[in-house]
Structure 1
Amino acid sequence: MSSVQRNPWLICAHHAVHSAMFPTAIFPLFWTRDIGMSVATMMSVQAFFSLSIALFEFPSGYIADRLGHRRALVLASGAIVVGWALYALARGLWSVLAAELVLGVGFSLVSGADAGLLYDSLREQGKEHEFARWYGRMRSAAQISSGAAALLAGFLYARWSRLPFVLELACWVVALGIALRLGETRRAPARVDDHLGRMRAIVRDALLRRPDLRAVMLLSVVFALAAYLPTWLMALYATEAGADVAWIGPMWAVASFTTAIGAMVSEGAGRRLGMTGTLLACLALVAAGYLGLALSHHALGFVFYFLLTFMRGLHMPLLHHEEQRLAPDDDRASCVSLRSFLFRAAFVLLGPVVGLGVDRHGHRPVLWVAGALMVALTLVSIGLFRAAARSSAQVDRA
């Protein structure tokens, strides 16, 4: 079996190993108890992480397209090893910010490179049509791994608050080894004399001249934001409602498993419901998830969050396949990174506002407002997507 033929399985393995995020479930506890942050500071740190990724996001995708997707994944894995080492040694806010900055650089390099390498590897084998299936497998493997890690997170944190970070460092050493075994595809990077001009052209084409690609990116950003905004609130939301701290790890695990299930059924949902039907189902899940979280005062109210995590898995393979199909061959990772940049930039704006709102007014009023905003943005995005699809169909018939 050639190295490119092995790539889909190796990419799934890489995604699974690097998604075993042992610290994620206990981050709110670590930040507030070990580092001494408020909720507003905690959300601001996440906004800083998003900003650090955003600053490097699009340039890193462009670099991946020029250097090769495999090399980008190797460089990313090495940077993230350093980032988790810094986190394991962190003692205060500034050391946490330093670790977040290095991790931001590393994760920005991953963004776009893995999906681009997967798409190009399948296309080189004549299996481009299998991308949604493989992307679903990749996301499912990642979420199952993430859920399993979350089940252990509370136990590891109780043993030693730094232990989750030490194990995460070990995982990324393994991820680096997997990245080194990946094969680069035969796609020859286009010769570019004016890199800044090329980057401006990519942004201009994706956001101004290509309404179909713009609509897909906007939908992906809105759905990702709807699922991500409550993520860092759920541990505090649940414990304040009366849930035991021991539930946090299993709660995070179930969230990951429901995302995995959504990714598994995504391709089938697309066949049965069509793209528009699946998008409307995702809209319904967003509305029900936020409404349930805002109304519930029971200790188990956090279960409504699982509707949002299922939605996250459901939409990603279909929309990302559309994104890969529409993106130019030589700038595929750049387009994915541009979309990720838009998401990160949106979170930089909204994350601290949400954290400040929770500090002042509590979780439920903020979830009411956030839910209404996400539903409105989703409706607008679906409308733009349908309009772009109709326009493309008319051009094809002409």
Structure 2
Amino acid sequence: MPSVKHNPWLICAFYGVHSMMFPAAIFPLFWTRDIGMSVATMMSVQAFFNLSIALFEFPSGYIADRLGHRRALVLGSVSILAGWLAYALARSLWSVVLAELVLGVGFSLISGADAALLYDSLREQGKEHEFARWYGRMRSAAQISSGSAALVAGFLYARWSRLPFAIEVACWVVALGIALRFGETARAQPRVEDHLGRMRAVVRGALVERADLRAVMLLGVVFALAAYLPTWLMALYATESGASVTWIGPMWAVASFTTALGSMLSEGAGRRLGMTGTLLACLALVAAGYLGLALSHHALGFAFYFLLTFVRGLHMPLLHHEEQRLVPDDDRASCVSLRSFLFRAAFALLGPAVGMGVDRHGHRPVLWASGALMVALTLVALGLFRARAARPSHQENRV
């Protein structure tokens, strides 16, 4: 079995390939032009994708804790490879739904296992304090790869609408090869006779009994939702505002690069501003981003979206380090997957409503209402975070 010593760098490389998603920037064009979807259907498909991940999210995290995080990452890579192959062959709405379902299973297996393997690998080497730094590197590698892929996505789509998906299949062959080189950490596996009971105990502990962990998880969900909700609207928002279709790839690339920048600055912001100060700055950026999108009618108005993508990178390393510090060792991936489940379920509820709102009223009124909702939810989550109880140590000055 490979050593865990190289896991941090391998995980960064894995995420670099994992996030080189050539189809991502052209999805709205592919769905509407090649498959014939409306905006409402498009958002409903994304809601289905997030729901399919949500349904498998927590069970897959629990499975990863029982089988091992390396095995979960390998199995997830195999499923995602099959999903992109199905997408390359998709010709109808239902074939897209099937591809999304297979991808959902794969991404749910990876979700939670990746951060858990990184944390346990560092802790096994006595470097647990470096988690935020490595998580920031992992996210930066992911976003730089995503942005680089977006730069050529439009060109690939113009050459052949299936070409981005064919290249994505090749990327996941490479990702699977990297996953096979991960080392599994030496974790003692607890004896579990009642798995359903253990899963209920994990949920109860994270969301009911542990006020500190619940507050951190809910705040992570709200910030992720605020940054993610407009993602699939921006291509149509930009073109309807007068931007050229050729801008879509570069726009997606800049969005990824700003997320990478936020991830790289996250640890330093935590040291200078503290956890609370950094999160308040994120709240201000969320409010400014939605307000700018709702009020702007200029072709470059989509630039306000970059404030939201910057927030996506800035908050994650800090909050995820706090989350990893608080979760039980034996259920690390389970708790991370539970938080991802909450995010996916929330998007599955809001996504179709946003899509129908855009079809009926246009982008700007919907972005105005969505922004007001996101700011309100973030304020509530921040209040819970500030008031969280039973925190073992003060994280603000340590990250």
Tell me the TM-score normalized by structure 2. Answer: 0.98
Q: Deviations over 1:176-195 (max 9, x none)?
A: 00000000011122111000
Tell me the residue number matched to 2:201. 201
In the TM superposition, what is the alpha-carbon distance from 1:108 to its structure 2 partner? 0.1
Identical residues among aligned pairs (%): 85
* In 2: Cα distance, 1:35 partner to 1:164 partner: 15
Aligned-partner residue type, residue 371 of structure 1: G
Give the superposition deviation at 1:3: 1.8
Structure 2 residue 373 is the aligned partner of structure 1 residue 383 = no
User: Which residue of 2 is the match for residue 100 of structure 1?
Assistant: 100
Is the 1:87–1:95 contact (alpha carbons within 8 Å) kept by the matching residues of 2? yes
Secondary structure at the counterpart of residue 391 of structure 2: helix
CA distance in 2, matches of 1:189, 1:215: 28
Corresponding residue for 1:151?
Answer: 151
RMSD: 1.2
**2:120 maps to which residue?**
120
In structure 2, distance between residues paired with 1:154 and 1:369: 31
**What is the identity, as a one-letter code, of the residue corresponding to 1:93?**
L
Q: Tell me what 1:344 maps to.
A: 344
In 2: Cα distance, 1:199 partner to 1:285 partner: 36
Determine helix, strand or coil for the equivalent of 2:190.
coil
Q: Paired residue for 1:211? A: 211
Cα deviations across residues 158-215 of structure 1 (Å, max 9, x unaligned)? 0000000000110000000000000001112211100000000000000000000000
Distance 2:333 2:189 in 1: 12
- The secondary structure found in structure 2 opposite 1:388 is coil
Distance across 1 between alignment mates of 2:391 and 2:217: 16
Does 2:140 correspond to 1:140?
yes
5 Å-filtered alignment, 1:268-307, equals 268-307=268-307
Q: Give 1:394 shift.
A: 10
Query: Are 2:40 and 1:28 aligned?
Result: no
Q: Aligned pair 1:130/2:108, yes or no?
A: no
Structure 1 unaligned segments of length 5 or more: list them: none
Aligned to 1:329: 329
Match in the other structure for 1:109: 109
TM-score norm. by structure 1 comes to: 0.98
Superposition pairs of residues 229-244 of structure 1, within 5 angstroms: 229-244=229-244
Q: Secondary structure at the match of 1:187?
A: coil
What amino acid does structure 2 have at the position aligned with 1:196?
Answer: L
Q: 1:394 to 1:164 in 2, by over 3 A?
A: closer
1:258 corresponds to? 258
In the TM superposition, residue 44 of structure 1 has moved relative to its aligned partner by 0.1
Structure 1 residue aligned with 2:391: 392
Output the amino acid matched with 1:392. Answer: R
After superposition, residues 45-124 of structure 1 pair within 5 angstroms as 45-124=45-124
Residues 278-310 of structure 1: CA distance to partner in whole angstroms, max 9, x if unpaired?
A: 000000000000000000000000000000000
**Match of 1:392, SS?**
coil
Q: CA deviation at 1:314?
A: 0.2
Deviation of 1:392 (Å): 3.1
Give the letter for the 2:342 counterpart: L
CA distance in 2, matches of 1:214, 1:16: 30
| In 2, Cα distance between equivalents of 1:319 and 1:393 | 15
The structural deviation recorded for 1:393 is 6.7
Q: Is the 8 A contact 1:226 1:308 kept in 2?
A: yes
Conserved in 2, the CA contact under 8 Å of 1:64 and 1:333? yes
Partner of 1:315 in structure 2? 315
Equivalent position of 2:9 in the other structure: 9
Aligned to 2:397: none
List runs of 5+ in structure 2 lacking aligned partners. Answer: 395-399
- CA–CA distance in structure 1, aligned partners of residues 75 and 305 of structure 2: 34
Which one is further off, 185-194 or 277-286?
185-194
SS of corresponding position for 1:242: coil
Q: Would you say the 8 A contact 1:68–1:189 is kept in 2?
A: no
Shift in Å, 1:340:
0.3
Query: After the TM superposition, which residues 357-368 of structure 1 pair with which residues of structure 2 at under 5 Å, given as runs?
Result: 357-368=357-368
Q: Offset of 1:243 from its aligned partner?
A: 0.1
Distance 1:120 1:374 in 2: 33
| 1:227–1:309 Cα contact (<8 Å) kept | yes
Structure 1: how far apart are the matches of 2:275 and 2:288? Answer: 20
State the distance in 1 between where 2:161 and 2:284 align.
Answer: 39
Q: Tell me which moved more, 41-50 or 185-194.
A: 185-194
Deviations 1:11-54 (A, max 9, x none): 00000001000000000000000000000000000000001000
